[in-house]
């Protein structure tokens, strides 16, 4: 049984503020309850299949020179530094 605290914790990890939005938590809870139908699918022994992509589908790994200074394109570039939010 999934608790609302677990959902709120995941929302925090996803950097989504749900503190003032109980309706989100309730609807997400209902959605997760719906996914419980997977328990009766009987797929425990099933293997997960993956599509193999051959290396030939990848474009050539070659250096393409780029002359622009990327840092100057950042919107918070202040000439000699980039302004960013505090990391606490």
Residue 13 binding another protein, by CB under 8 A: yes
CB of 69 to another protein, least distance (A): 17
> Phi and psi (nearest 5°) for 57?
-85, -10
- Go through 15-31 and write b for each residue having 16 or more CB atoms within 10 A of its CB, e for each that does not: eeebeeeeeebeebbee
Of the two residues 46 and 65, which places its CB atom closer to another protein in the complex?
46
CA distance 55 to 39: 37
Residue 37 binding another protein, by CB under 8 A: yes
- Residues in contact with another protein by the rule CB under 8 A: 2, 6-7, 10-11, 13-18, 21, 24, 27-28, 30-32, 34-35, 37-41, 43-44, 46-49, 51, 53, 57-59, 75-76, 83-88
């Amino acid at each position: 049984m999934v608790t609302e605290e677990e959902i709120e914790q995941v929302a925090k990890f996803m950097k989504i503020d749900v503190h003032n939005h109980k309706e989100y938590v309730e609807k997400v809870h209902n959605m997760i309850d719906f996914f419980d139908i997977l328990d009766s699918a009987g797929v425990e022994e099933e293997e997960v299949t993956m599509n193999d992509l051959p290396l030939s589908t990848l474009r050539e790994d070659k250096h393409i020179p780029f002359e622009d200074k990327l840092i100057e394109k950042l919107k918070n570039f202040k000439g000699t530094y980039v302004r960013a939010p505090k990391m606490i």
